[in-house]
Amino acid sequence: MIQISSVEKRQQKKLVILWSITFLILFPLLVTLGLLMRLNQGEWMRMSPGTFYALMTLHGLGMAGSLFSIALAAISYLIATRYARLNIGVGYFSYVSVVLGVLGLAIASLYAKFGAGWYLLYPLPFTGANWPAWSTGLTIISIIVLGIGLLINCLHVLYALAKEYGGITRIAGWQYFKKDPPEKELPSVVMISTISLVPAVLAFLAASVMLIMYLLKYFEPSLAFDPLLLKNLTFFFGHTLVNVTMYIGVGWLYTLLPEFTHRDWKITKVTAIAWNATFFFILFAYFHHLYMDFVQPLPLQYAGQLASYFSAIPATAVTMFGVIVQLYHSKIKWTIVPLMFLLGTAGWAIGGFAAVVDSTISINKVLHNTLWVPAHFHTYMLMGILLFILAFFYYLVGAKEDPGKDQKPKLGFWLFVIGSYSFLLMFYLGGLNSVPRRYSDYGGIPLKNVHETGAHLAQAASVSICLLLLGLMLMYVTLFTKLLRSSRPAAQNETVL
Amino acid sequence: MSQLIVLLTVQGYAAIISLAGAILVIAVVLFLLRTSTTQEDKLAVKKKVYKIRGRYFFALVTCIIILLLVTLQLLPYPKFQSEPGEVVTVVGMQWMWKMAPGTSIETPAAFTGNNEITLPANKAIRFIVTSGDVNHDFAIYDNNGVLVAQTQAMPQYHNELQYVFPQKGDYEILCLEYCGLAHAIMLGKIHVQ
């Protein structure tokens, strides 16, 4: 077992607290952009379509990027303080890259109104744009800067783990495939990090190819590329990254929940097989984004539905039953950390179930690009990974070491949960009523009931967002104070993991 | 009334299935909250839960296989389409739809069509859909406001969507792929007689 000095642990803690505070500042700002969009769709405020789509672009890129970044920072911290030595310089390089990238994206969208959507679907950034050309260039370069920082961080974590545990196949848990269990146990978080970060690296590589093509097009507008190829690259990158964010969070669920239940959660042959199968499902499920591209080769359409359906097996039969083993008759004290883990797992399951329904080709043909899509991914992002992240923050500020510091869930938490589910319900009802996504407003829709239903649901969603923001702010009051306090040297001696 | 009609559509079935899934998850959460107040040895718990997990695994795999066998027969792709009664060429451009009967050999930019077209009911119509600039999505809504069919309109490619209009009346065309500033008002209309 690796020995990590208290000095190294303190350095890592300082870094993760910097990440945490940055995320906690950024997140409600990005939620507020969502609120403004829903207010506009609800016809309670008026903004131009150009402003709406610029906010939509920043909201999407900001949320996907910041959630992945904080998930990576959290898992890196757990690894660096327990399982493998990570270079602190790489951590800060990643942080600075992400901050610079986010700054560039904010300038491009808020100042120049760059609004091609988070996915910059080719050739939209270059065709019929109402934003200045330089903002397209700035966006591409910002994503490259941000991506390089995150890619290097992912590669560094994988390298450090492989070095510590004897190679890439061992950190992927292949030694558990044999009949007899291995002599040296592999921590579950190491295997889950590997299964998550390898697809993340592949996603960043796909994004690199895409962004290089975009840069070439930016500097030489006469160039033309295959839109179907670029659509595949775009969704491979976007879908994989969002999926991986969730799975990284599951990594610290396996590590931290047992500390509250006092029941170990070790890798077995079944879990190793399940997680390695998940690796392939993560890579192939993205095809379900292209079901409505009928020219996509048919085997790839089948692969999309098969991978999406079969991903439910390891997720539920292994991880969710694992949570049940942890909690059933455990006499656990329901403080905020384990409760967030339980509700986060539930949010993942509910959003995942709606996603699997939408991944059925014959259903997708009437749900694709309606509000059903943001409904399901907001469910597992907001009520899944975000709860895992908040649980990690509460753990970080010493909830485990000193039960006195671990709060029982209070008003803020419940307001946040109720507001969030109410907000999500409006998206689901919108999808059920065929309300399109990515519409600046519904006033132009000639179908009265789609227009009115969309607007009324957006109004209800706006109220719900206010509720969830209020809950979040109430939680922030204590969380911020504790994070700042735990970053002080004296506190670090006590609470370094 | 339109809310009730929605429940009888594919969207309605999707919502009912998803609601059932969500209720099951909530039931498990409540069960865990209630049963976690007492303590039992972990090995005994494991034995009980794994017994259920084994059954769950086989039930889930069976369900998945059945669902795949059924749903993969109902695909909207050309291979699964019958001979069309009529063919319509559709071109999406920022921010309008151009539609005309027959198969066009013109480039999307040169293609002339209208954003309204009249088509017969109860006849298989094949829409050959492409784009003259960015990605769009050709989505057909019935007069109850229910999305009934769609396909992407992609530059350089032709997607073939087939649909039988079951009743006479006006169907609206919306764009469902974000395509820029006026995406929300990129409209068309099909008069079905």
Q: Under an 8 A CB cutoff, do B77 and A331 touch? A: no
pLDDT at A489 over 70: no
ipTM of the complex: 0.95
What percent of chain A has a predicted confidence (pLDDT) above 90?
88
Given a cut of 50, whether residue A72 has pLDDT beyond it is yes
A481 within some domain: yes
pLDDT at A402: 56
- Residue A231: pLDDT over 90: yes
Average pLDDT value for residue range A116-133: 95
The percentage of chain B sitting over the pLDDT mark of 90, rounded to a whole number, equals 91
Q: Domain of residue A484: give its range.
A: 6-495
Which residues 399-428 of chain A have a CB within 8 Å of chain B?
428
CA dist., res. A391 & res. A344, Å (int): 9
Q: Is the pLDDT of residue A404 over 90?
A: no
Mean pLDDT confidence for A203-215: 96
In this prediction, residue A399 carries a pLDDT of 62
Whether A418 is in a domain gets the answer: yes
pLDDT of A107 over the 70 cut: yes
SS (H, E, C) A338-392: HHHHHHHHHHHHHHHHHHHHHCCHHHHHHHCCECHHHHHHHHHHHHHHHHHHHHH
Read off the pLDDT band of A494 (50, 70, 90).
very low
In a domain, A1, yes or no: no
Number of domains in chain A: 1
Domain contains A196:
yes
Q: CA of A263: which chain B residue's CA is closest?
A: B42
Average the pLDDT over each of A169-178, A213-222, A390-399 and give the range with the smallest value: A390-399
CATH number at residue A139: 1.20.210.10
Cβ contact B67–A360 (<8 Å): yes
The answer to whether B156 contacts A226, with C-beta atoms less than 8 Å apart, is yes
What does the pLDDT average to over A178-195?
92
| Contact between A441 and B33 using a beta-carbon 8 Å cutoff | no
From A124's Cα to the closest Cα of chain B, the distance in A is 6
Instruction: State yes or no: pLDDT of A92 exceeds 50.
Output: yes
Q: Looking at chain B, which residue has its C-alpha nearest residue A448?
A: B145
Q: Does residue A108 belong to any structural domain of this protein?
A: yes
Name the residue of chain A whose CA is nearest to B161's CA: A294
pLDDT band at B17 (very low <50, low <70, confident <90, very high): very high
Q: Is residue A244 domain-resident?
A: yes
Q: What is the arithmetic mean of pLDDT over B75-103? A: 95
In a domain, residue A166? The reply is yes
Residue A371 lies in a domain: yes
> From CA B188, how far away is CA A182, in angstroms rounded?
64
3-class DSSP state for residue B181?
Answer: coil
Comparison of pLDDT for A400 and A130, the residue scoring more: A130
Q: What is the mean pLDDT of chain A?
A: 93
- Answer yes or no: are the C-beta atoms of A60 and A237 closer than 8 Å: no
Residue A117 confidence (pLDDT) above 70:
yes
pLDDT, residue A290, reads 98
pLDDT of residue A152: 98
Query: Quick check: A496 pLDDT over 70?
Result: no
Residue A409: pLDDT above 70?
no
